[in-house]
Each structure stands twice: as C-alpha cells, then as structure tokens.
Structure 1
C-alpha cells in the first residue's frame, strides 16, 4: 500500500480554490496517498471541516483585499503586492522545510506561486494561463507564466478543445510549459431531489465586496414571492441558520449540504467565479451571474457565457430582481464528460 505524502495548498482568495481541491484530495486518498493540507484563513478552515482527519498546516496570507470601488481594484492589488511577494518568499522557505519534515512525494499548489520545490515533483493548478488585467494583461500574463514554468506540470480544470469554459484565459496558442487539461473540477454531483427552493443565492469572495453584495441582495429579494435559500459564504466555527419569512439564511454549508441544496434549488444566483461556474456546469443548473466589481476575469467569464447563450449576468450596481426572469432564455452548458484518469495523472508522484 502506498502512503506517500502529498502537500495540497490552495490559495485563500474566496473559497473557490479550496473547494475545487476537495475532489482532488478525495482522489489522492482513494489512490492510497496521504494528503497534507496547507493554506490560510477561510480556505484552510473549509478544508479542515471537510477533512478533519488530515494534517493541516498554516501558510502566510497573500493579504488580498478588494477595493470598495471597482476602478480602485488594480491599485489596491498593486499596493498590497509587497505583502504578496513576501508571502510567496515565506511559503517557499516553509515548503522546503516541510519537504524534509514530511518526506513529501509531491506538491499540488492551486494558484499559490511559492508552493513548489525543485527536488520534489510540483504541480500548479490554474485556469489563468493569461491573467486579464486590462491594458496590463500582457505583463501580468508574462509574470504569471514565469511562475508556472517553475512547476513540473500545470493542470488546467477545463476542456482542452471547444466548447470550453475559460476561452483565452485557460488556452494558449504556443505554451512553453507542460499543460494537462482535467475537465471541470467540482466537488458536487447530481442527485435526485425534490424541489425545495425557487432560488438559491450563494456568495463567496474576499471582503468588502462579499458584504456589499449580501446587503444589496437582502434589500432586493424581499420583493420576490419565492422560497429562497441564502448561503453567505462566511466560514465560522459554528453554523448559524436564520429564517426570515420565506428566506433561509446560512453563514456557510459543508460540501454535502451544498450539494443537496444545489440539487433542491430551481435556479442559482451567484458570482461568476470560475469554481462556481464549474459547479453549475457539473450540475446542469440554470443561473444568474453577478461578477465581482473590478475583477476582470469574472467579468470576462460572465460576458463570454452570456454571449454563448448559457447564463445571463448583470453588473452589481445595475442588478434588479426582475432580471432573474431572463434565466429561462438561456440554456445550461452541457458537457460530454470523459472520466478523468486520476491514476495516470498521479504518475508524476511515483518517480523515484
């Protein structure tokens, strides 16, 4: 029996990076590996709740903050970049130490740029081979690709050929590094379930934008005469459930609860974060998207999916509940999914 230790380290930027690592961690366990979890903040809390039996280690925070106004988003990221660079340097030192301490057979980083080691097979999971940042896209993409090259392999959670989900984000004309396409990664599965909610709202993403959208939606959804489930996406120690008339509010849900809720809901209202989109596709769900203001990638994904006839979307400041009627005019993205050969993927960690 194989008991090789594999470090799995998602970025703490919203919950998406952590949740899409859940199916990967399950597969590692299934194939006899021992995953060791590493992250910070909400992402680490979520993984600890999903896998309480696994070792969990703390990595330094990238201190990613969002601006209140979309136009200040890039400036805020730039202002915080020294802290991010320090965190990347720190995590490299920690990973070097952990390679010896835990005798790591492999490293899987989801968008954490310093989580690799030259002597240990290292993988980066990212759907951003190009980092969209407006006029500075070419430079932000170049910098990101330089980091990707430091890893042995790059795993992209999307389809390689068209139709795909990420478009130019996750596909390069002439890549200079090894790319493997995994197909969409989701921790959720379709279940047979009675319809319980007309609308499920699920929020995630860094502050203050998460709270701004929560407050906006709470003001507006009172106008709907519908049964609504509202998941705020705040991972606390204790789950809190509140009922206000026809609205049921949760601070967070576990994977099992989210899966059940998705299957029991008619339509979904959510951010156009890539992990959420993969969940919608896997569950064949109809949805309305509201991109995080200033996050070029989410805006691009929402525009592209609308243009291709899959999901309607609105800017946060323009959103009105009547827009939800548009959902019926769109057809969910249907996939002809091939089963992913995980064993073949994990061959990298079998090298002596």
Structure 2
C-alpha cells in the first residue's frame, strides 16, 4: 500500500489496451510497483481489461476510455480486412481518448502517464511512457508500413519501455528489436505478476484461454471436445471476466470462468503442463515460472504465430494451428525443454525517475 508519510504522492494514469487480457494483466506488476514507490495509480481502460483490473485493485480509482471496437472475424483470413474496415472507428476512439486524457490531467492532477498500447494516451504537458513488445508490428506483406506507423506513434512519448531483454537470447526477437533506432527505448526485462513456488502437482494439465472473441470461444469448444480423450486431471480457466467467479467439476476437469492473480499463480505452480495461446504476456508468465507449455496461436495473429514458431525452433515448446490441434499433440512436449526462467529484477525506482 501507499506510504502516506512520504511528502510526495505523484499521480500516474495507467492505460492498458483492451485486447484480450494480456495488456491489462502485465500492467498489474507496474501498478503494484507504483504503489510500493509512493505513487498514486489511476487506472483507465474499457471492456474486460478494465473489469480485470477492477477486480485486482477494487480500492483504486477506475476511469473508462472509449472502446477501439476491435472486432475479430471467425475466419482469420479476413483479419487484416476487418481491421482495415474498423480503422475509422478506431481513429475516432483514439482522438476521443486524447481529448479525455487532456481533460483528466487537470481534473485529477495527473503527473505522468503509462500507456500499454493505447495510442492516444499521451501528453506533451507531462511525462508519458509507452509500453510495447512490438516495435515491429507483423502483418505479413504490410509489416513495413505497420511497423513504421507504430514507431511514429512511439516517438510521441517521453520513453518506450520494452518488456524484454536487449541482448541475445531474448523473448521477442525481431518484434522488440531494431537494428537502428532514434527512439528512446528502455529494455526493462519480462513483466509478470507470477512468482515461482515449489508446490505439489495437482493437475496434469492446465488450460488457460484468453484473447478476443469469437476466437476465444471457438478454441474453448475445440479443446472441450479434445479433452474427452484425456484421462489426467485438468484445470480449465476460460478467461471470461464476469461479476462472480464460478467453478464446476465435470468428470476429470475443473472449470473456472476466471481467476484472480493469486489463484492463477497457485494453479500454474500446481500444474505439470500448460495449454494456451502464444500471447506475449502468457509467454512472460511461463518464463517466470519455468513451465512446459503447448501453444495454439490465435488464427491470423501474425505476432502469436511468429512467437510460437520461434519457441519451437529454439526447442523450448511445440505448437499447433487451432484447426489442426489434437489432444495427442501434447505427447510432443517430451521432445522440448520447456520455457527457461529469466531472473531479472526490474529497477522500478530508476524507471520511475521519468516522472520526477
């Protein structure tokens, strides 16, 4: 909690993108670090990202930002086309959030901003930090232009924090690294809310879902069918943020709609292997825990496909395309070493100097 004996309590606005739960969940350690260093966090987002953080920090001020209205098609072939069609709505939302943030700076006496991939959450009046692991945004043949556009946005911020290590080996490779750059980049190391604990194994398999709809639901149904042939003990977290937590035991599978950070950490540590998306936040959690995982990238999401391929080539984890996944694929894990722990201690006091 905040030490109110301190003379200075600067207020920092934290604004994660609402795209699945990854951006919000990796902001959790940042919010806790702000509190431990006597800053006052205010959280602003929308949708399930805001719902998740409201459950994690019920005592903090929560503000709502306009939705980017990112819609994911059932057919991943049309993903880029869908984004293109939605881009006018997204641009309007970015313009609106920029005006709202400018108003909030005066209304709530905000001293700094930390934006996790929200493109309009910055100000020239106060220090503004951008968090991303994608300096280069992979979109197939249009990667060069999406990367340049993203880098142009990053340049508007005081600093860009990259949750990866600068040297080789690293987690995101060409996503998070440039050969040459005039951007103010700081590699802060992997961000995770998890802590590795030596606990007895209760579950042979942990399934954890995340990401945008309808792909989250499509994968849930796919895995449920496949699990009918699985004999071990399973804990299945659907990744649906609702008002109340629910759990249900059906044969050998224990279902939860969602878990808070403490429960999730416990479940990870009590599970032998993990079946999940190859989202970067999930990968950072698995690295912190040193776990074996099987990945199913979100169809059409170039970043997740790239990360899954990279980890497979490095002999760390196998993957399968969503349509092709069979529960028998899990036997492939015997050929892979699992995610290797990166022991990095983030120097929060030094990082937060940008707000002084």
Fold conserved between structures, TM > 0.5 = yes
Q: Number of residue pairs matched? A: 350
Q: Deviations over 1:272-312 (max 9, x none)?
A: 00000000000000000000000000000000110011110
Q: Which residue of 1 aligns with 2:197?
A: 191
Q: Which residue of 1 aligns with 2:55?
A: 49
2:285 and 2:342 map into 1 onto residues whose CA distance is 15
Structure 1 stretches of 5 or more lacking a match?
none
Matched, 1:39 2:45: yes
2:23 and 2:292 map into 1 onto residues whose CA distance is 22
Q: Which residue of 1 aligns with 2:128?
A: 122
Instruction: Using the TM superposition, give the Cα deviation of residue 121 of structure 1 relative to its aligned residue in structure 2, in angstroms.
Output: 0.1
User: Alignment partner of 1:187: what SS?
Assistant: coil
2:9 and 2:107 map into 1 onto residues whose CA distance is 15
Instruction: Using the TM superposition, give the Cα deviation of residue 176 of structure 1 relative to its aligned residue in structure 2, in angstroms.
Output: 1.7
2:326 and 2:54 map into 1 onto residues whose CA distance is 37
User: Alignment partner of 1:104: what SS?
Assistant: coil
Q: Which residue of 1 aligns with 2:271?
A: 265
Contact persistence 1:242–1:249 (CA under 8 A)? yes
User: Alignment partner of 2:111: what SS?
Assistant: strand
Q: Which residue of 2 aligns with 1:27?
A: 33
Instruction: Using the TM superposition, give the Cα deviation of residue 336 of structure 1 relative to its aligned residue in structure 2, in angstroms.
Output: 4.4
Matched, 1:7 2:13: yes
2:339 and 2:247 map into 1 onto residues whose CA distance is 32
Q: Which residue of 2 aligns with 1:165?
A: 171
Q: Which residue of 2 aligns with 1:329?
A: 335
| Bigger Cα displacement from structure 2, 154-163 vs 336-345 | 336-345
Q: Which residue of 2 aligns with 1:154?
A: 160
Greater than 4 Å deviation, 4+ residue runs = none
Choose from 46, 71, 74 the match for 1:65: 71
Q: Which residue of 1 aligns with 2:253?
A: 247
1:245 and 1:210 map into 2 onto residues whose CA distance is 23
After TM superposition, the score normalised by the length of structure 2 is: 0.97
Choose from 269, 291, 295 the match for 1:285: 291
Q: Deviations over 1:108-156 (max 9, x none)?
A: 0000000000111000000000000000000000111111000000000
Q: Which residue of 1 aligns with 2:217?
A: 211
Contact persistence 1:239–1:251 (CA under 8 A)? yes
Q: Deviations over 1:209-234 (max 9, x none)?
A: 00000000001101000100000000
Contact persistence 1:183–1:337 (CA under 8 A)? no
Instruction: Using the TM superposition, give the Cα deviation of residue 3 of structure 1 relative to its aligned residue in structure 2, in angstroms.
Output: 1.1
Contact persistence 2:17–2:116 (CA under 8 A)? yes
Matched, 1:90 2:96: yes
Choose from 302, 325, 328 the match for 1:319: 325
Q: Deviations over 1:142-195 (max 9, x none)?
A: 111111000000000001101001010000011121000111100010112111
2:190 and 2:342 map into 1 onto residues whose CA distance is 11
Q: Which residue of 2 aligns with 1:81?
A: 87
